[in-house]
Structure 1
């Protein structure tokens, strides 16, 4: 782990908490607004005033410019909690997030990045564009939801609809997660309606200069928004089935539909920078394949494994993953396990393969417009194989009705082994079984979606919490003091300490909406299986 922090990250920390929405916004406007306002009359010529802040927002949904931030924003949280990866490093003498001794100084970057680099930029653009440039306003809405639903899925309640609104007691109110999701749906609905009015003129040259993903294509942004809407609709379907159905069916039946092919995958171009995972894995040697990933991919003989990881150092044909939450005596012990394959200079946040799996689950729920669950499931697997140029292997894979995740064996310490008799080892096969129960079908869908969404561990962790799938291996070492039962896994990250120090009243009100204590064992609002 690189402990260095850039000047901008120090500024973000100083601007967080009670004063964060106001101070960030005030700072942003004092530094940027006055110079840019000199060119308001020329806005139609280059649109940099409203385009550049959206570029910064996109680049900070998943931080690409400061790997030390990315490591804490996502890698040592979602990437590990999802079962995708595990670190060989015994940080803090093995008392860290992986062993459920949640470290306050590890858990703030996801929050600080969102309120330092996403929310103020989106708010600035929305203030500038309201009533003038509806398409840029809608674009900012989508980006804001893309970023902030991830933050909410880490902490629960967030500051969203009341961002930059200070109460008489100098506190700032959080939205409950239910209220935040309601706002997400409203933003997406508004953005989809607005951009649909522009879609016949796509692509947009004025979008193109700032669009790091779709090259100014309005229709692809609409498809992304529909897919995101369906993702969030399914996320709340267990706790609010009527609202989930309403939002899901709106997404499924919108005229431009969902993402359908790898050419429409939502990835953010960060070139010339390398992907942060390449640095964390190869330069810092701080991350490796997770044991659950080894079990599932090797058990299924999944050809995507060679696109995701490289064999262990001791064998040219053997992949080894590290089990989460184990005793690690030294970094050298597990560093020879499978590294991650090199990632391209694009941050993957939503794919067409995921969209097909979302449709498959919506079909299980009998949502209008979802189609057939089997067809969607198989198209999801095919689209994932297509993404990695593996379609020649698709037919044999999708018809495999015998392979299951395999038992896990740790050659360093057998106490970490997971035998075939373990309740945490899935018996799920690949081929669709028409007469299977709904839970069995759901496990099959989510397991394949989990594989396909790699390396976005944040989204995979959220889906695991919502559904319980795929089956993952619990930690062996649990230093939570009973706050996080090993059998139920970690459910969320506590609110950051700077918020407690500067916005105590706001945090205390937010905790009442959690229906539990502010710790990693309390389930989020939508986390109801």
Structure 2
């Protein structure tokens, strides 16, 4: 539909020009707005709320969660978020504003129309699922946030506890699935304006149930009874069952530069982390079959320099003074720009200048949840004895194979080998051993999930904080005085943005927030039970 594409363009301009506005703008009374069709609201929720705008993606993910889950390391002296320096502008423009203006506000605008437009019901349920995805990400990133009264016209918005938010997300997902399963007649349906599933209701049901399982697992250490109840309820329903069900955002006009991850990496301000390279080259008894799909060779290796290493990563949190050393420059380290994106970089270090995507049609959606993750969720559920989860080993191994399949889908012919697939899965510390204790098995599951959900950095960072796995390397330098890398300490969450601290001060500075711990980069969110330092 041309109309929704035009609307996205216009709203992009509006968002950029008003990105620093406070809650007064974010919470305009939706009752004062003329009726808006869900077909116009949903694409904005997805396009802006999930950061298809590459500048927002850089601020929301590449400069925060990508570094904190150690998929990549910063190599630019202009950025210090990898050293745990908080930048309120990035957090506001990349995370806070898109959530409240493009997620919460959009759905609140639709709710008053439902009574007069029962034909919008299914479309509204899909909007609820989108909001649930984004809400989980926001509360995982910031902890307690404004939620229940956000977007309804209030100026000062109270904060809600993460526990209450998670419990409401369970309710939202359950109710949305119940409504969608009724297959009511006379319902309007999304088409191309749905940038994820193009209106496929059955796939939205699978995603909602899978998200319920994800949310349940997040509570497994802090609220095990609720986690089990919600997880077992989700396991009784249809879940994402293959890579064809994967949820990812495809922009209205996909092209070789439309994926914000690839577009952001062109500017050469980061490289693969040492953690990522070590994991792919040394964790198994053989090289991880996904190595060439995720990483490029170093530019120095391609040029044939004598001291070059083919695959090399940068330690996280290097001091600015170290970034100028030859061993840490971009040419001597791998980019996270491998064959999985449909690129051919045999003669180039990273694919920006020489190698191009094979075709514009080979667009890889910006992933939100994949089949591999669901397999690992089921593996952990089985490990915990949740009914309906199946066999832990079978789910674990299927998760690895699903990851192989997904990453190979667009890879050029001859860019990878399947020869070592079975050896990788069945030998060494990757291999499943029923005699292992709970912690060893959990570490295997989460480590493979960390690789299998790449590049979903938000989920990877959350799972590290929940479980303590995979075992990440402490940053080389922290410029946040409350976090000491020498004591193996890591960042816990992002603090609240400055606009909140000034415009919503009474609530944003409440010392009872986050279980009485208040706010700060070293404050743990509710479900974080200190399984890491």
TM-score tier, shorter chain, comes to 0.7 to 0.9
* 1:100 and 2:127 aligned: no
- Once the two structures are TM-superposed, the CA of residue 127 in structure 1 deviates from its matched residue by 3.0
* 1:315 and 2:301 aligned: yes
2:444 paired residue number: 444
TM-score by length of 1: 0.84
| Aligned partner (choices 235, 255, 260) of residue 252 of structure 1 | 235
Q: 1:123 to 1:392 in 2, by over 3 A?
A: farther
| Aligned partner (choices 378, 382, 403) of residue 363 of structure 1 | 382
- Once the two structures are TM-superposed, the CA of residue 289 in structure 1 deviates from its matched residue by 0.6
2:501 & 2:17 partners in 1: Cα distance? 18
| Aligned partner (choices 366, 371, 380) of residue 352 of structure 1 | 371
Cα deviation, 1:433-474, whole Å, max 9, x if unaligned, reads 110010000000000000001011111000000000000000
Unaligned 5+ segments in structure 1 are 38-47, 402-428
2:168 paired residue number: 183
- Once the two structures are TM-superposed, the CA of residue 345 in structure 1 deviates from its matched residue by 4.4
| Aligned partner (choices 272, 280, 303) of residue 264 of structure 2 | 280
- Once the two structures are TM-superposed, the CA of residue 524 in structure 1 deviates from its matched residue by 0.3
* 1:123 and 2:111 aligned: no
- Aligned to 2:366, the other structure's residue is in SS state strand
1:503 paired residue number: 504
| Aligned partner (choices 109, 114, 126) of residue 139 of structure 1 | 126
* 1:526 and 2:527 aligned: yes
Q: 1:171 to 1:440 in 2, by over 3 A?
A: same
- Aligned to 2:159, the other structure's residue is in SS state coil
* 1:54 and 2:7 aligned: no
- Once the two structures are TM-superposed, the CA of residue 20 in structure 1 deviates from its matched residue by 4.2
* 1:334 and 2:329 aligned: yes
1:408 paired residue number: none
- Aligned to 2:478, the other structure's residue is in SS state coil
Q: Is the 8 A contact 1:126 1:140 kept in 2?
A: no
1:266 paired residue number: 247
* 1:305 and 2:267 aligned: no
2:235 & 2:263 partners in 1: Cα distance? 38
Q: Is the 8 A contact 1:294 1:321 kept in 2?
A: yes
2:317 paired residue number: 325
1:515 paired residue number: 516
2:248 & 2:163 partners in 1: Cα distance? 28
1:364 & 1:289 partners in 2: Cα distance? 32
- Shifted more, 101-110 versus 306-315: the winner is 101-110
- Once the two structures are TM-superposed, the CA of residue 101 in structure 1 deviates from its matched residue by 2.3
- Once the two structures are TM-superposed, the CA of residue 75 in structure 1 deviates from its matched residue by 0.9
Q: Is the 8 A contact 2:27 2:105 kept in 1?
A: no
Q: Is the 8 A contact 2:147 2:160 kept in 1?
A: yes
- Once the two structures are TM-superposed, the CA of residue 328 in structure 1 deviates from its matched residue by 3.4
1:396 paired residue number: 423
1:382 & 1:483 partners in 2: Cα distance? 37
Cα deviation, 1:233-285, whole Å, max 9, x if unaligned, reads 0001111111101110110012xx21121111101112145211212212x11
Q: Is the 8 A contact 1:158 1:174 kept in 2?
A: yes
Q: Is the 8 A contact 1:354 1:449 kept in 2?
A: yes
Q: Is the 8 A contact 2:108 2:151 kept in 1?
A: no
| Aligned partner (choices 210, 213, 234) of residue 227 of structure 1 | 210
- Once the two structures are TM-superposed, the CA of residue 512 in structure 1 deviates from its matched residue by 2.7
Q: Is the 8 A contact 1:20 1:115 kept in 2?
A: no
Cα deviation, 1:356-410, whole Å, max 9, x if unaligned, reads 0000000011011011111110111111111123766432221122xxxxxxxxx
Cα deviation, 1:191-239, whole Å, max 9, x if unaligned, reads 111111129x99x872223222223221111111111000010001111
1:124 & 1:166 partners in 2: Cα distance? 11
- Once the two structures are TM-superposed, the CA of residue 165 in structure 1 deviates from its matched residue by 4.7
2:111 & 2:125 partners in 1: Cα distance? 8
Q: Is the 8 A contact 1:77 1:97 kept in 2?
A: yes
Q: Is the 8 A contact 2:514 2:524 kept in 1?
A: no
Q: 1:392 to 1:127 in 2, by over 3 A?
A: farther
- Aligned to 2:430, the other structure's residue is in SS state coil
Q: Is the 8 A contact 2:144 2:513 kept in 1?
A: no
1:484 & 1:119 partners in 2: Cα distance? 36
Give the count of matched residue pairs: 468
2:500 & 2:426 partners in 1: Cα distance? 52
| Aligned partner (choices 59, 78, 97) of residue 65 of structure 2 | 78
1:423 paired residue number: none
- Shifted more, 348-357 versus 70-79: the winner is 70-79
1:422 paired residue number: none
Please provide the CA RMSD for this pair. Answer: 2.3
Q: 1:107 to 1:215 in 2, by over 3 A?
A: closer
Unaligned 5+ segments in structure 2 are 1-11, 303-308, 342-362, 409-416
- Once the two structures are TM-superposed, the CA of residue 481 in structure 1 deviates from its matched residue by 1.3
Q: Is the 8 A contact 2:38 2:124 kept in 1?
A: no
2:511 & 2:458 partners in 1: Cα distance? 22
